[in-house]
Amino acid sequence: MSHTTTPGPRVPGATDRPPPPDHRSLAPDLARGVMLLVIALAHAHLFTVLIGGPENPLTIADRITTAGTVAFVDLRGHPMFAALFGYGLAWIHRRRSEQGHEPRRTRGLLRRRGLWLVVFGLAHAVLLFPGDILAVYGLVALLLVGVLRFRDRTLVILALVWLPVAATVHALVGSYDAMTGSGPPPMPDGFVNELFFRLELFAVLFVMMFLGTIVPFLLGVLAGRHRVLEQPGEHLRLLRATAFVGVPVAVLGGLPLALTKAGVWTDATPLDVLVITPLHQVTGYAGGLGYAALIALVAARSTGPRGPSTNALAALGQRSMTFYLAQSVAWAVLFSSYTLHIQHTSPVVGVGIAVAVWTTTALLADLMRRRNRRGPAEVALRRLAYGPSR
C-alpha cells in the first residue's frame, strides 16, 4: 500500500528552506498567481448573491457574466488550488527525503503545518470570509498526510472511489435547494450579526469544500511526485492532453447549470438539477487540472528572460496565502455593513471589483519581490510549523 523512499545521507547544515526566487520552478508559482484571479471572481460573485438581491440578473450583460462565471470559475479554481496544495506537500516530502530526514519527522512537520492552517482558517472565516479554504486544507493535511507514501496506483484508486461520494453529496444539496427554492441567505447588517452569519455559512461550506478537495488533492500529490509542473518539458504530452481536454470538458459540463443560474433555462426541475449539479462538480475537476496544465505549458515556453507581467504573477503565486487573505480584507472593507457597505446587484460590477482587487495584489506582490520581502502569512506559517530557529 505504501510508496517508500529511502532517505539519502543527512547533509550537515542542510535545510529544506524554499529555494531562492531565481531557482524556483515557474509553473507552480504562475499557476497560483493566475488562480488567485479565479478565486477573486468566485468570491466577488458570491457577494453579488449575498448582497445584491435576486440571484438571476436582469440585463443581457449580467446574464452573460453569470453564465461565464459558473462555466469557467465556480468549482474550477478550487480544484486547482487543492491540486496545487497536494503538489506542495509532495514537494516537501520529496525534498526532505532527499535531504535525509526521517519520514516520521516529515509527517509530523506536515501535520503541524496542517494544524496551523486550521487555526489560520478558522480565524479567517470568523473575522473576514465564510468561504475559507485554509482550514479545509489543514484538515486534509492532518488526515491524509499518510497518502504521501502510497503507490501511484493506490492514489488513483482512492481518487476514483471518492469521486462519486463528492458528486452524490453535491447532487443532493443542489436538488434540495431546487425543490425548496432555498439558497444562501442574505448577509445581515451589524458586526455581531455578520460574525454569526459567517460561522453558520462556513459550517456548510466547509463540509462541501472538504468533500470536493480530496480528489484533486490526491491527483496533485501524484503530479508532485513526478514533478509534472517543475519539469513541464518532460511531460508535454500529458499536459497538452489535460489542458486541451480538461478545459473544454469543464465548460461543456458547466453549461447546463450556467444556463439555469443565468435565468435562461427557467423550467429546470429538481430531477434536472440532480443531474446537472454533479456534472458541474465532476467536470470542474477536469477544468481545474486543465487550467494548471495550460499554465504549465505557457511556463514551458518561457525560456528567456521573464517579462514584468510574468514576474508579477510569479511573485503573487509565491505569496499566495498572504494575498488570498488580503483579498478577504478587501471584501470585508468593501462589503461589510460596518465599513463601506457597497451594495450592488450587477454581476458585471462584481467582475470589475474582482479584477481590480486582484490587480492591486499582483502589483503589491511585485513590489515585495523587488524589495526581497516574503509574504508575512508564509513567514508566520513556516515559523509556527518549524519553530523560530528555522
> How far is 21 from 54, CA to CA, in rounded Å?
46
Residue for cell digits 492514489? 155
Q: Residue 24 above 50 pLDDT?
A: yes
191-219: average pLDDT: 91
Rg (CA), the chain: 21
221-242: average pLDDT: 93
**Interaxial angle between packed helices 191-225 and 134-144, expressed in degrees from 0 to 180 and rounded to the nearest 10:** 50
Q: Is residue 215 part of a domain?
A: yes
Three-class SS of residue 10?
A: coil
Q: Is residue 313 part of a domain?
A: no
18-45: average pLDDT: 82
Q: Residue 51 above 70 pLDDT?
A: no
Instruction: State the sign of the Cα–Cα–Cα–Cα dihedral 311, 313, 318, 321.
Output: positive
Q: Is residue 334 part of a domain?
A: no
Is 242 within 8 Å of 285 (Cβ atoms)? Answer: no
> Which pLDDT belongs to residue 98?
87
**Interaxial angle between packed helices 347-370 and 60-72, expressed in degrees from 0 to 180 and rounded to the nearest 10:** 50
Beta bridge mates, 2 = 150
Residue for cell digits 510549523? 385
362-388: average pLDDT: 93
Domain total in the chain: 1
Structural domain boundaries, residue 154: 60-307
Q: For residues 173 and 202, which has the higher predicted lDDT (pLDDT)? A: 202
Q: Is residue 331 part of a domain?
A: no
Q: Residue 7 above 70 pLDDT?
A: no
Q: Is residue 91 part of a domain?
A: yes
7-8-12-17 Cα dihedral, nearest 10 degrees: -70
62-80: average pLDDT: 91
Q: Is residue 183 part of a domain?
A: yes
Q: For residues 251 and 274, which has the higher predicted lDDT (pLDDT)? A: 251
